[in-house]
Structure 1
Amino acid sequence: MVKAPWLTIVGLGEDAPEGLPRASLEALETAEFIIGPPRHLTLLPKVSAELIPWPVPFTDGIARLEAMRGHRVVALASQDPFWFGAGSSIARHLAPEEWTALPGPSTFSWVAARMGWRLETTLCRGLHAAPLTRLRPDLARGTRLIVLLRDGAAVAELAEYLNTTGFGPSALTIFEALGGPRERRTDTTAAQLPKRTFTHPVCAAIELAGTGAALPKSSGLADDWFDSDGQITKRPMRALTLSALSPRPHEHLWDIGGGSGSVAIEWLLAHPSLRATSIEPRAERAARITANAARLGVDRLNVIHGKAPEALAGLPPPDAVFIGGGLSADMLDWLTTHLPQGTRLVVNAVTLETEAQLAHAQATWGGDLLRIELAQSAPLGSKRGWKSSYPVVQWSVTL
């Protein structure tokens, strides 16, 4: 039996075997089993190991890999296995002492070298199994992106997405089989992409241009970014609410009574590590929240069609909770009984009845009460005057 580490994860490029470093070649030459995607297996030099195609779905390969524990095994992955690669998916199933890794140059490094771009100021995105809408928060004139794509057909889909969002003039460079003898480069724009077949593996370098709207980086997006039936926390109030919720990396939000999902979506836009669950009792609104989140690039929003507090049972605990309407004594009792200590709770109230509840809640649990009165200019006869919105009372507390 082989002592740990028994598994070596080898990053393989299109130039294999000529471009492999000595350590990677030695791992391949001494392996008893080599498991990897069929395309990678065809790139290997002559070896004595048994070659095993990685099965589909991917998770089936993990069980196959674990069954070889104790033998000398090489798992093949593309380029740098830990940058949008399979490395972390494999490593999390094994003890740290069971495996080692020999990464190759990443596709992002190859593209930056071809384009002459500073990699530290270029956004790098992996869209092998993710929708193109994940790019929406990145779309702004002057931004440089390197995007890994699912397959050749995704090139045309990327160009169409850039066109429909107003970024058709963006410079688009497509690389096929980058770093190997079959490498092919196509320089074009999203609007003028040639109608031809692109082959996998494929990636794109994008320098964004056009008249498309960029998502602001501050809280309080304009209301028209969200599809809504009118049930939405309006822009100024949303900005104040997100300030009170105070999102921090790796935190989880419960958005109770999601409406259009605007608060949960802006929470997620604040940082890629943030998570959110939106609970909405009306089916059509829950569907609208899902669509809004996908369109704005945060399809990781978990939308639950259900009514609080019943729908809250079993959810991962939150770091912050927002209630934009529909607060009841039962819900408040459930939250203050079940939420972990340190949870931040923010509640907005418009009606006198809910305002009275919040005054009682502050007297019981502390926190801050804020009364917010907003007015916008509006026509008044032949002139203009101020049109006031209903005042909103906001209670924020750390339990």
Structure 2
Amino acid sequence: MGFFSKIKKLWKKDKQDQTQKIQIEEKKVPTQETQEISSTPKEDLEQKISLALAQAEPRLSIWLDILLQDIETKGDELWSRLELFFNKLEVPQKEASDFIAKFKDWLDKMEYEHISEFRSELQYRLALALDLEDEEDERSRLFIKLSEGLSKTKAQLSKQINNLISSSSHFDTNFWEQLEEILIMADVGFNPTLKLIDNLKLRAKEISPGDQEAFKKIFAQELASLFPKPSKKLIALKPEVVLLIGVNGVGKTTTIAKLAYRAQMQGKKVLMVGADTFRAAAIEQLKIWADRVGVGFYSKEHGSDPAAVAYEAMDKALKENFDLVLVDTAGRLHTKVNLMEELSKIKRVLNKKHPGSPHRTILVLDATTGQNALSQVDLFSKSVPIDEIILTKLDGTAKGGVVVGIASEYNIPITFIGLGEKMEDLRPFDGKSFAKALLD
């Protein structure tokens, strides 16, 4: 749908044009206005909604509260209100219609009927399509999701750190040894733990022993500093090609689908490529996800040469002007020598067909595997240079400290984390938010 940075400006102008004022209290649902909407005759409904939207604080969650008031299931009323919403934002008619049509199709494929099942997905789609993901409202929503996803890790790590601080009257040798043990048990890793503690020893001179909040503040700052930031690569000629690697069972296929979903909502034409021809099920699963998300797909029959699949997929991508190509690869560890040779061959073939590609190689890891995830980084990096890491299943582990170990030990940026099964649950990673959520 493109980007709409003028949204707040448009909304402010419309708000000033209104003669009637409606007060909508922040975070109060339902509001007085939405209660009035539910009892308004149909002929006046559009005017009431328009007025309530114009007078509301320009936050996506508040807008949705108004739009979805008194609607329980998908249907004509929902589509009508979404059309009105896009019209208020001056979104081109075709883009608005495409968004609604794709969302209808998505709900049908996922068999969602009730608002409660898909409200968060709708907000996520709108945030991406309207370029509002960095707005305060969405950042707050992400922080809550991140904090909930880290609940198991927090129950172990944060609680123990709190107990250690409250029971210590001095930052002595015993204190640091206990902290070291806590961090290592949380799978932070030996070297990152030593680095973190060395930094904390210097910073601890600034605060008083037993000051839990002050210690957690400097702890969060030092923790965040261990995460390298991803570099922005310029793509000379599209499409951008992304190679995804990782062992079987880490959630690579669904991660590709979620990346495709994000990119499509941002207006990109996406092609998913099934180059894991070792498993017929992998091709079938990726095809199902491509159909659900509504993006392009290319693969060949089970047993085909993966490099040939990648080459022919690039031919298709170039001819049909795709913006982004996501290439799935095999992850069988029991034949790891052949696998690494296969990955190297795929990279050579892609570069031959489309010079400079793959532009990014992303390793997908399962956070629940703890230290085993570190060994996978070591294994793959010896054969294929890794640009980024995506860590899945972070919501299902008490070993969330592995995030720190992976980023610090190998100096590879973590770009996304998986916090659940839904499309909205793959979110950009931010070191500061992670540290704050972990220690809050």
Decide which structure has the larger Cα Rg and report it: 1
Higher relative contact order (CA 8 A, sep 6+): 2
When the two structures are superposed, what TM-score results if normalisation uses the length of structure 1? 0.33
More helix by share: 2
When the two structures are superposed, what TM-score results if normalisation uses the length of structure 2? 0.31
